[in-house]
DNA sequence: CTGAAAGCGCTAACAT
DNA sequence: ATGTTAGCGCTTTCAG
């Protein structure tokens, strides 16, 4: 008997309601979904009957005929990463606000799984928000022809996107470090397939040249706390006084390692993270990092997606198809003046 | 033209494949979903053609006829809470492993939204994992008659559930505190509708009586970091030397407040959290807390749900319908010996 | 093992 | 404003 034959009758369909009211199913359908196209009296009666019978529309049947599913998907490489939680929060909140269901898919950093997911999804949701894709541009371009798509932190001509301007943020961070007297910094890079990581390094590199300081790119590292230890070790080996990390997870992971190795943050080493995730403000020491509301990114991406659904097929100037959201440096206690490196080996007591 | 008429032809359906192979649609359907019921040769041909044409099954059509949707929902009160991150991770991972899609719904701590969600979901997913429900038993019982349901951290006769034995954990925590010399502790309670919170307090209360120490229940508090400050203030006012918090979020939130008010943790106040969420190990000081793999909870709940789907309607002794998972105390640096309260006002130098 | 036919529950032209 | 009539894409009896 399964679950459909619970306490009451089996599934109540639209025709049960129609029969109860004594009208055609189409009338019920309209009363339920197109308020203006039936008389008020009729709407009342239908709603009453539907309520009475405990009618629940079957979304699958609805999708099948209408083509709309009233659901969007968020595709991310790793549900484990707190960064994405803020994104989930944003997309989920905005989807719900707009009456859409929210499907979450984790591709586990696998490009194949990502590709397969996009293919499947194209027939089961109205649109996709794709974050931190590991797929090449061409694949994304093709996917965006099959299903409305908004990519996050990726820029591809003609594909709608929302990116955070972290390269500019990295430049600010570098300025901050230079103004603190640092002249040799490291960028601890993210995954090689990460578009963002490459962009960030390029910005740092250029800015370093302009400022006349040296910058090393070290890595790649997995964007995880666990990899933070290796990143910290590498930074120490490169003899820099400041680190710009690909993300907060790496930075937070490094903090403990620095402590273990007797490298004081920020006295001996300044640390800058990126994203200002949950925890960045209460780790020890609290992290100087690039702040942007990831939740906001999720909302903007969702809005962009849903807006494009409205105008799908119609030749209306679609709303902004490309957003670049600003980020700013939040200075906490993990950055400080560069150690006086000359003083240390020669005469540590020079300072009174 | 929308998205269905991308670069190639419009949607490829099962009958396109059938036509290409020169067989009936039913044969294609079988070849795709019931491997054993067609000849191997036929399967090969169908698969080849499907692949060739870029056929993607339409899950909605599939659900409509078969009744199965190959998707489950996770319903939680607040995507914001890191506790649920781990749960999401667990359910999402296990669902995917079993070939199910994962729908995420946030009810925003609203009982009405939770009820409405459960009603809707009953026709759109194969089953629901419901965590931290704010609904009364009766409502859940009824819901579980309409859709396969597994509740997390809630126990209701006849409804499958996965709970973490935090009451027992709280007793351990109290033992730990008593062994450190504490004799007056506070329980900082969660939401009044939280079944878990009530259970925990009952366990603490009984255990305190047995151990001959005093325990106050203070609150309720919203289970958030923000509420941690108020909780800290309340604890200070109640003049206790140790706090058991409903969850880590509250505990972490309190840490900063204690610091601001000059209450040293753990010298002046011991703090115990619950759940061991992301951040509990790197906050300052690292939190003594009750550890249980929430991700594991998610996996177990999902497995239980999917197992019940297999046997739905069939009178087979369903697998364990009730799991109680253990938790254990992880001692970090937020708990320490009780301050020598007698000594302070009288003679602070008594200890040599 | 394969084909024919009947719908799943609903929406969307067409009619009226 | 409402009713009629086709299906959406697929699975599933029921026949062969």
Q: For B156-176, what is each residue's pLDDT tens digit?
A: 999 999 999 999 999 999 999
Of residues A245 and B341, which shows the higher confidence score? A245
Q: What is the pLDDT of residue B311?
A: 61
Residue A3 has pLDDT above 80, yes or no: no
Give A11-53 pLDDT, tens digit per residue: 899 999 999 999 999 999 999 998 888 999 999 999 999 999 9
pLDDT at B5 over 60: no
| E strands present in B97-168 | 101-106, 127-131, 149-152, 161-164
CB-CB under 8 Å, A120 with B282: no
Mean pLDDT of A204-224: 95
Q: Which residue of A3, A7, A256 is in closest CB contact with B282?
A: A256
Share of chain B above pLDDT 70, in %: 91
The 10 Å Cβ neighbour count of residue B144 is 22
Q: So what's the pLDDT on residue B1?
A: 35
Residue A202 has pLDDT above 70, yes or no: yes
**pLDDT at residue A297 tops 90:** yes
Percent of chain B with pLDDT over 90: 74
For residue A347, what pLDDT is reported?
A: 40
- Dump pLDDT digits (tens) for B107-119: 888 899 999 999 9
pLDDT at B48 over 60: yes
Q: Which of A99-108, A326-335, A340-349, B300-309 has the lowest mean pLDDT?
A: A340-349
**Cβ distance of A103 and B102 shorter than 8 Å:** yes
Q: Rounded mean pLDDT of A174-178?
A: 97
**Interchain proximity B123–A88, CB inside 8 Å:** no
Nearest C-alpha in B relative to A86:
B80
A10 pLDDT more than 80 = no
* Per-residue pLDDT tens digits for B20-42: 999 999 999 999 998 888 999 99
Question: A198 Cβ partners below 8 Å, 6+ apart?
Answer: none
pLDDT for residue A11: 84
Partnered with residue B242 across adjacent β-strands are B185, B270
The pLDDT mean for chain A works out to 89
pLDDT at B4: 41
| pLDDT value at residue A341 | 60
The pLDDT value recorded for residue B14 is 94
Q: How would you write B256-280 as a 3-class SS string?
A: HHHHHCCCCCCCCCEEECCECCCCC
What is the least distance, in Å, from the CA of A188 to any CA of chain B? 21
| Of B171, B167, B168, B165, the residue nearest B207 (C-alpha) | B171
Q: Tell me the pLDDT tens digit for each residue of B293-320.
A: 999 999 999 999 998 887 654 444 555 6
Contact check, Cβ <8 Å, A278/B278: yes
Q: In this predicted structure, what is the pLDDT of residue B318?
A: 55
Whether the predicted pLDDT of A230 surpasses 90? yes
What's residue B23's pLDDT?
A: 94
Q: Identify the band that residue A342 occupies on the pLDDT scale cut at 50, 70 and 90.
A: low
Smallest CA–CA separation between B296 and chain A, in Å? Answer: 13
Position A308 scores a pLDDT of: 86
CB contact under 8 A, B119 and A59: no
Residues of A in contact with B69 (CB under 8 A): 60
Confirm if A147 and A128 have CB atoms less than 8 A apart: yes
Summarised one tens digit per residue, pLDDT across range A303-335 is: 999 998 876 544 445 556 899 999 999 999 999
**B220-239 mean pLDDT:** 96
Residue A116, pLDDT above cutoff 80: yes
Q: Strand D positions with any atom < 7 Å from protein CB?
A: 1-13
**Partner-chain contact A58 B88, CB within 8 Å:** no
- pLDDT at position A340, please? 82
- From A42's Cα to the closest Cα of chain B, the distance in A is 24
Which residues have C-beta within 8 Å of that of residue A237, sequence separation ≥ 6? none
- The answer to whether B251 and A282 are in contact (CB under 8 A) is no
| The pLDDT of residue B319 | 57
Average of per-residue pLDDT values in chain B: 89
Residue of B nearest to A127 (CA): B3
Residue B146 has pLDDT above 90, yes or no: no
State residue A80's pLDDT score.
78
Distance from the Cα of A13 to chain B's closest Cα (Å) equals 11
Q: Is the pLDDT of residue B85 over 60?
A: yes
What was the pLDDT predicted at A310? 74
Does the distance separating the beta carbons of B63 and A79 come in below 8 Å? Answer: no
Instruction: Give pLDDT, residue A81.
Output: 84
- Residues of chain A in contact with residue B88, where contact means CB-CB under 8 angstroms, are 79, 88, 104
Which residues are CB-neighbours of B304 under 8 A, at least 6 positions away? B150, B160, B162, B319, B320, B321, B323
Measured between CA atoms, the residue of chain A closest to residue B59 is A124
Residues of A in contact with B4 (CB under 8 A): 67
Backbone angles phi, psi at B280, to 5 degrees: -65, -25
Q: Give the global pTM.
A: 0.86
Q: Which of A275, A307, A327 is nearest to A129 (CA)?
A: A307
Q: Are B134 and B197 in contact (CB under 8 A)?
A: no
Residues in A touching B64 (Cβ below 8 Å): 58, 60-61, 64
Measured in whole angstroms, how far is the alpha carbon of residue A142 from the centre of its chain? Answer: 21
Among A101-110, A274-283, B188-197, the minimum mean pLDDT is found in A101-110
pLDDT digits (tens, 9 = 90+) for B237-289: 998 999 999 999 999 999 999 999 999 999 999 999 999 999 999 999 999 99
pLDDT for res B7: 38
Higher pLDDT, B10 or A112: A112
DSSP letter at A330?
E
Contacts of B159 in chain A (CB under 8 A): none
A289 has pLDDT over 70: yes
**What is the rounded CA–CA span in Å between residue B306 and residue B318?**
11
Which one of B90, B144, B278 would you mutate to disrupt binding with A, by most A Cβ within 10 Å of its Cβ? B278
* Gap between the Cα atoms of B101 and B90, Å rounded: 13
Q: How far is the CA of A61 from the C1' of C13 (A)?
A: 18
- Nearest Cα of chain A lies from the Cα of B123 at a distance, in angstroms, of 6
Contact at CB, A2 and B313, closer than 8 angstroms: yes
With residue A73 as reference, give the H or E element that holds it.
strand A71-76
Averaged pLDDT for residues B141-151: 92
């Amino acid at each position: 008997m399964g679950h459909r034959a619970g306490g009451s009758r089996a599934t109540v369909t639209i025709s049960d309601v129609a029969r109860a009211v004594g009208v055609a199913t189409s009338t019920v359908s309209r009363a339920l979904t197109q308020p203006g196209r039936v008389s008020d009296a009729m709407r009342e009666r239908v709603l009453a009957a539907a309520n009475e019978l405990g009618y629940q529309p079957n979304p699958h049947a609805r999708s099948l005929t209408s083509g709309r599913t009233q659901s969007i998907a968020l595709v991310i490489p790793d549900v484990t990463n707190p960064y994405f939680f803020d994104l989930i929060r944003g997309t989920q909140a905005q989807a719900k606000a707009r009456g859409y269901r929210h499907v979450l898919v984790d591709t586990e950093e696998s490009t194949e799984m990502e590709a397969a997911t996009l293919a499947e999804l194209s027939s089961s949701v109205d649109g996709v928000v794709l974050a931190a894709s590991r797929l090449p541009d061409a694949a994304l371009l093709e996917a965006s022809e099959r299903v409305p798509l908004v990519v996050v932190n990726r820029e591809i001509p003609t594909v709608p996107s929302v990116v955070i301007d972290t390269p500019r943020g990295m430049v600010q961070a570098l300025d901050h470090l230079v103004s603190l007297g640092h002249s040799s910094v490291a960028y601890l890079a993210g995954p090689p397939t990460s578009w963002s990581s490459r962009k960030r390094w390029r910005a740092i590199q250029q800015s370093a040249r302009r400022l006349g300081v040296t910058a090393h790119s070290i890595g790649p590292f997995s964007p995880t706390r666990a990899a933070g230890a290796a990143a910290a070790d590498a930074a120490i080996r490169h003899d820099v006084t400041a680190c710009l990390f690909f993300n907060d997870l790496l930075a937070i992971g490094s903090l403990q390692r620095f402590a273990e190795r007797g490298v004081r943050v920020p006295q001996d080493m300044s640390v800058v993270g990126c994203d200002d995730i949950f925890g960045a403000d209460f780790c020890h020491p609290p992290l100087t990092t690039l702040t942007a509301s990831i939740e906001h990114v999720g909302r903007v991406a969702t809005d962009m997606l849903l807006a494009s659904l409205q105008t799908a097929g119609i030749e209306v100037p679609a709303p902004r198809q490309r957003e670049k959201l600003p980020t700013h440096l939040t200075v906490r206690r993990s950055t400080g003046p560069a150690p006086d490196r000359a003083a240390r080996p020669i005469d540590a007591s020079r300072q009174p």
